Structure 1
Amino acid sequence: MKIIVTGGNGFIGSNIVSNLSKNHDVKIFDFKKSEKLNNKFIQGDIKNAEHVINSIKDCDVVIHLAATLGVINTEENPVMTLDTNMGGTKNVLEACRVNKIKKIIFSSSSEVYGEPVKIPMDEKDKPIPITTYGISKFAAEEYIKAYAKNYGLQYTMFRLFNVYGDQQATDWVLPEFVSKAIKNEDIIVHGDGTQTRAFCYVTDISNAFSLALDKADGQLINIGNNTEPISIKELAHKIIRIANSKSDVKFIPFEESKRNRNEIMVRIPNIQKAKEILGFVPQISLDEGILKVIEKQKSTIS
């Protein structure tokens, strides 16, 4: 297939591009260039509607990941977040319509659910997003449904849960903890650390996108690894153990950190739908994934 990946030079995007390039003709649309990938590259901004339309010609599938990310970044820059994640998605959809693209695969987020009504979180649960990022992703989902209804565009939408990997920036919790651990520095945990997450390694995530190329039409699906939910304080201690670190775990109140928002305490996905429709089964255990992150970070400082 001929595939274009918006945000293809980002952490998740670059893994998807690397995986799909083994069997498909893949090009990247991103505002930043990367030397890591040798694919056809188009530098651009999804907020530029005309450029997006011209860039998505002659493709079979659009994988749309380009977005404004990060809890602190999106809360401090709500207008930019909405413009990019909602307006940018509308531009991508319009480009799909004009160019008669067969299908779009969209990267949404577990943030759409907001405070869960039950655990594990199910695709049938009512979305109640409480963050700018969650709101922007939910609105983007609704744009996609509207284009599907009005113009016949086929889609698959993934709500991703806590993706991590060895190329992820240390702005994110797991690689941040690893960075501190290998330097034997204190690991800072916000609140009491009982907030619980289910982490999914990025290669498992990229495999889901590959599976969706010719499956899951018209479907909204949770993608994550629900086999090893863990509290944030337990995660810190696990990383210290695996890294053989001398770090200590320190706790600070949310009010004293930049994450001064209502924290969602438990976020664990039900992935039964992904298993049934895609045949998606996560392969990388949490210990194995953490070790990969440790080894990668150590190699960059040695």
Structure 2
Amino acid sequence: MDLKNKHVLVTGADGFIGSHLTEQLVRSAKHVKAFVHYNAFNSWGWLDDSPLDIKRQLEVISGDIRDPHAVKQAVRGCDAVFHLAALVAIPYSYHSPASYVDTNMKGTLHVLQAARELEIEKVIHTSTSEVYGTAQSVPITENHRLQGQSPYAATKIAADQLATAFHCSFATPVAIIRPFNTYGPRQSARAVIPTIIGQVAAGKKKIKLGALHPTRDFSYVKDTVNGFIKIAESEQTIGEVVQIGSNFEISIGDTARLIAEVMGAEIEILTDEQRLRPAKSEVERLCADYTKAKLLADWEPVYGGKEGFRKGLRETVDWFVTAENRRAYKVDEYNI
């Protein structure tokens, strides 16, 4: 699929990854619709901060992914759909699991049903590495077993299975992208890297975190966005799950220490009990094998390995240390 000649829709365009992807698609596609969550403030989320030339080229639609009529109206006239709209905060899924069912499962159903009825050329559905639970073997391939260790993960597994079912049952041209832990500018404060950077940037020496021993495979947002586009463009990805990761794992504790090094700060790490997941819900280890992405979509990380991670952290820090960019973040409050 050549995106240059296509009309595309991005659901969740107002979010962290969605806003970066939307901006890149404006530079790559013929016409881009951005589906953002309706709110009384007429806010487009992070798209409000996009360059003016980007916003002028966007068609922004405010709605709710839980409303099938609104979704179908947004999908109409498009050739491809990038489906990112979801609730993603794991701690909040313990508090309000029903909202995750409505948004992540039913929302995905609405996108798939609209794509089927309107005969969309391709749907790129967004999964997550959390569907694997704690790694049983590393590096993790797409054939690793699925295990929902949180309500969030369970709803994402269900959404992935719906996408696969629509492809198998109705030949809906779906590709599933499964990013590992994406980080970068604009990421929510509830994520670990912005949490660390925000506390250090605020001058705090004692950094409050949850569990320090779990390992993660962090992917810089530019790599993730490039993965979306590569998977959309490749005909070989239809009906496939393709994961995006760096094949480099690092513990949360070592991540905090590396961030402090990048920021030239000395820190002491404290365990904050409210930030700990229930013991059986904690995902202890994640590390991606991106062989399939390279084979089917000619994708590989630019920010891979420890030095790539350090480079991505520097770019992320540069964004967060700008006071104007931090205005929406409440460093002193734990945000579930």
TM-score (norm: length of structure 2): 0.85
What corresponds to 1:47 in structure 2? 66
Q: Does 1:195 align with 2:214?
A: yes
Q: Does 1:35 align with 2:48?
A: yes
Q: Is the 8 A contact 1:181 1:240 kept in 2?
A: yes
Aligned to 2:90, which of 71, 85, 102?
71
Q: Which runs of structure 1 show a deviation greater than 6 angstroms over 4 or more consecutive aligned residues?
A: none
**Matched residues in 1 for 2:72 and 2:218: separation?**
35
Task: Please give the residue correspondences for 1:140-155 in structure 2 after superposition, counting only pairs within 5 Å.
Answer: 140-155=159-174
Q: Is the 8 A contact 1:29 1:43 kept in 2?
A: yes
Q: Is the 8 A contact 2:135 2:284 kept in 1?
A: no
Letter in 2 for 1:28: A
Per-residue deviation at 1:28? 0.6
**Aligned-partner SS, 1:128:** coil
Letter in 1 for 2:200: A
**Matched residues in 2 for 1:260 and 1:207: separation?**
31
What corresponds to 1:286 in structure 2? 309
Aligned to 1:259, which of 276, 282, 286?
276
Task: Please give the residue correspondences for 1:110-121 in structure 2 after superposition, counting only pairs within 5 Å.
Answer: 110-121=129-140
Counterparts in 2 of 1:128 and 1:169: CA distance versus 1, 3 Å: closer
**Matched residues in 2 for 1:188 and 1:102: separation?**
46
Counterparts in 2 of 1:248 and 1:258: CA distance versus 1, 3 Å: closer
**Matched residues in 1 for 2:164 and 2:282: separation?**
29
Deviates more, 1:6-15 or 1:163-172: 163-172
Q: Is the 8 A contact 2:182 2:220 kept in 1?
A: yes
Per-residue deviation at 1:184? 2.9
**Matched residues in 1 for 2:213 and 2:66: separation?**
38
Q: Is the 8 A contact 2:10 2:83 kept in 1?
A: yes
Counterparts in 2 of 1:301 and 1:266: CA distance versus 1, 3 Å: same
Letter in 2 for 1:83: D
What corresponds to 1:90 in structure 2? 109
**Matched residues in 2 for 1:189 and 1:11: separation?**
21
Per-residue deviation at 1:301? 5.3
Letter in 1 for 2:36: D
**Aligned-partner SS, 2:241:** strand
Counterparts in 2 of 1:103 and 1:301: CA distance versus 1, 3 Å: closer
**Matched residues in 1 for 2:98 and 2:107: separation?**
12
Per-residue deviation at 1:258? 4.0
Task: Please give the residue correspondences for 1:174-185 in structure 2 after superposition, counting only pairs within 5 Å.
Answer: 174-185=193-204
**Matched residues in 1 for 2:275 and 2:10: separation?**
32
**Matched residues in 2 for 1:84 and 1:277: separation?**
30
What corresponds to 1:248 in structure 2? 268
**Matched residues in 2 for 1:280 and 1:232: separation?**
26
In structure 2, list runs of 5 or more residues that go unmatched. Answer: 1-5, 39-43, 326-336
In structure 1, list runs of 5 or more residues that go unmatched. Answer: none
**Matched residues in 1 for 2:122 and 2:324: separation?**
42
Per-residue deviation at 1:117? 1.7
**Matched residues in 2 for 1:259 and 1:44: separation?**
34
Percent identity (aligned): 28
**Aligned-partner SS, 2:123:** strand
**Aligned-partner SS, 2:32:** strand
Q: Is the 8 A contact 2:97 2:151 kept in 1?
A: yes
More helix by share: 2
What corresponds to 1:21 in structure 2? 26
What corresponds to 1:12 in structure 2? 17
**Matched residues in 2 for 1:231 and 1:259: separation?**
15
Q: Does 1:219 align with 2:232?
A: no
Letter in 1 for 2:244: I
Q: How many residues align?
A: 297
The RMSD of aligned alpha carbons is: 1.5
**Aligned-partner SS, 1:105:** strand
What corresponds to 2:224 in structure 1? 205
Per-residue deviation at 1:147? 1.3
What corresponds to 1:234 in structure 2? 254
**Matched residues in 2 for 1:299 and 1:51: separation?**
37
**Matched residues in 1 for 2:88 and 2:111: separation?**
18
Per-residue deviation at 1:190? 2.0
Q: Is the 8 A contact 2:209 2:275 kept in 1?
A: no
Q: Is the 8 A contact 1:78 1:132 kept in 2?
A: yes
